[in-house]
Amino acid sequence: MRWAPTRGGIVGGTVARAGAAPGTMSGSDTAPFLSQADDTDDGPAPGTPGLPGSMGSPRSEDHEVPDREGLQRITGLSSGRSALIVAVLCYINLLNYMDRFTVAGVLPDIEQFFDIGDSSSGLIQTVFISSYMVLAPVFGYLGDRYNRKYLMCGGIAFWSLVTLGSSFIPREQFWLLLLTRGLVGVGEASYSTIAPTLIADLFVADQRSRMLSVFYFAIPVGSGLGYIAGSKVKDVAGDWHWALRVTPHPTLLAVVLLFLVVREPPRGAVERHSDSPPLNPTSWWEDLRALARNPSFILSSLGFTAVAFVTGSLALWAPAFLLRSRVVLGETPPCLPGDSCSSSDSLVFGLITCLTGVLGVGLGVEISRRLRRSNPRADPLVCAAGLLGSSPFLFLSLACARGSIVATYIFIFIGETLLSMNWAIVADILLYVVIPTRRSTAEAFQIVLSHLLGDAGSPYLIGLISDRLRQRWPPSFLSEFRALQFSLMLCAFMGALGGAAFLGAAIFIEGDRRRAQLHVQGLLREAGPADDRIVVPQRGRSTRVPVSSVLI
């Protein structure tokens, strides 16, 4: 990549201050990996707006970050209205994940009703995730260019109607259940790629981090409520089909709230200089090209892929594994054809998912907030610690399942708490290393990558391995348990790989974040693809920035 000098010039490996004599040198970029940032001499000059928008930004507390009145002038929305918008988005996100995991809460009954094996059961989640993954780039492209509220309204209404329709499928039409789960993924893709970008355009700095943490609380809580609602509604109604009829009605209410409450804020306005020109969207290929050259984004997405692999596997298979463990221990009768399967493990696992999600998301955000005071790379390091720490506990939960179900639950609790530390932090990393006009595309790209290599195939892969292992052993309840136990151990290995990816992201995070912030503030712009340059124009008072902050 080449750089074009402006009147300030790029001299001696740095971007020089406006008016500096040619040949003037700046300090080198020598930020240690685990301690200080390179912000001592190279930060904004006095009077220059700060660099908002980063959860890990050491300058997030500067007075130039807009206050409530400033945000209201920029967005045209009061602080109360902005908070209400986030509340509506959180409510929809809660229903989103409830809908996803209601099926997992009644999976043994679905297997029995359609007379299918583990591999076919895993295919239910794989089809949903694959559809969701394929459509995410389409909605990412649309979300960066068109009205986001209307896109979400249409998608959410579609997914609620399809979910309701899937509850009336006869036992001979298992393929139709797969089709409807795939169509549900179409609707959910319209929401998940767009909603975080609305929050990013309403808040900056620590305010954004807090709102994102609230938004992502809905993931584990909604997932846990999906297990609970699915299992308890099935018990009350005596039919698992009623579990799929829980979320469509409140989801239609969510469409009405979304239409009436949410207003479209200007993209990236809260992060620009007051005199900076608005950012214009570039072509989709240019967006992908820029994202592919952003190592922090790529590596954090790979780390999140490992999170998706582990959570996708546990989400579908943990209740069934716990049931088989209790059968082997003699604590519950086996699930035989014609009988209703025990739902107690789905209920307990749902409660654990809710509690560990709230604890893990809050713990991750708070640890990162405290560590970033001395370490600007705290975000990816906390994510790495969460993944690397969760792997041994998840392994122990599987290894202890034949001896003590209580020990299994304890290790699952610890492992899921550490795993949940990633959710809000990964989202914030994306928002501060990617410019506003590419964020929906970046969300979509991250969804495609994390699901393609993560939970799109992991439930089916776990089920397939389990079926292959069962074929080698004599049929018994013990062999069913052992087969699923051994196949789920793959999750611990994937967690360790994800931790390594986040450690890699920590190397590049500061430079990528600074480059995005300078771009948003009008201090840096990209030239056309013909010459592959980035130009640093003179805009009032310039600032001296190490080349490593803008060039990787």
Residues 265 and 319 placed together within one structural domain of the fold:
no
Give the list of residues 6+ apart from residue 4 with CB closer than 8 angstroms, or none: 527, 531, 533, 534, 535, 536
Query: Is residue 266 one of the residues assigned to a domain?
Result: yes
The CA-based dihedral angle spanning residues 531, 532, 538, 544, taken in that order and rounded to the nearest 10 degrees: -140
Question: How many Å apart are CA 396 and CA 418, to the nearest integer?
Answer: 14
The model carries a pTM of 0.65
Domain count, the chain: 2
Residues 220 and 314 placed together within one structural domain of the fold:
no
Question: How many Å apart are CA 521 and CA 543, to the nearest integer?
Answer: 12
Residue-range definition of the domain harbouring residue 291: 282-523
Give the list of residues 6+ apart from residue 12 with CB closer than 8 angstroms, or none: 23, 24, 25, 26
Query: Is residue 155 one of the residues assigned to a domain?
Result: yes
Give the list of residues 6+ apart from residue 253 with CB closer than 8 angstroms, or none: none
Query: Is residue 510 one of the residues assigned to a domain?
Result: yes
Q: Where are the beta strands (DSSP E) in 213-267?
A: none
State both tokens at 483: 């087969």
Residues 225 and 122 placed together within one structural domain of the fold:
yes
Q: What is the pLDDT of residue 3?
A: 40
Residue 204: other Cβ atoms inside 10 A? 25
> Which regions of the chain are under pLDDT 50?
1-63, 528-535, 542, 544, 547-552
Q: What is the pLDDT of residue 499?
A: 94
Residues 293 and 249 placed together within one structural domain of the fold:
no
Residues 266 and 292 placed together within one structural domain of the fold:
no
Question: How many Å apart are CA 19 and CA 84, to the nearest integer?
Answer: 47
Query: Is residue 94 one of the residues assigned to a domain?
Result: yes
DSSP 3-state of 534: strand
Q: What is the pLDDT of residue 477?
A: 84
Residues 341 and 456 placed together within one structural domain of the fold:
yes
Question: How many Å apart are CA 251 and CA 95, to the nearest integer?
Answer: 7
Query: Is residue 546 one of the residues assigned to a domain?
Result: no
Residues 261 and 294 placed together within one structural domain of the fold:
no
Residues 252 and 335 placed together within one structural domain of the fold:
no
**DSSP at 437:** G
Q: What is the pLDDT of residue 68?
A: 58
Query: Is residue 48 one of the residues assigned to a domain?
Result: no
Residues 311 and 240 placed together within one structural domain of the fold:
no
Give the list of residues 6+ apart from residue 57 with CB closer than 8 angstroms, or none: 51, 205, 372, 376, 432, 513, 517
Q: What is the pLDDT of residue 549?
A: 47
Q: What is the pLDDT of residue 498?
A: 93
**DSSP at 323:** H
Question: How many Å apart are CA 136 and CA 454, to the nearest integer?
Answer: 15
Residues 224 and 332 placed together within one structural domain of the fold:
no
Query: Is residue 162 one of the residues assigned to a domain?
Result: yes
Residues 309 and 185 placed together within one structural domain of the fold:
no
The CATH number for 111's domain is 1.20.1250.20
End-to-end CA distance of the chain: 9
Conformation bin of residue 12: beta by default, left when phi > 0, alpha when psi is -120 to 50:
left
Residues 317 and 241 placed together within one structural domain of the fold:
no
Query: Is residue 419 one of the residues assigned to a domain?
Result: yes
Q: What is the pLDDT of residue 522?
A: 66
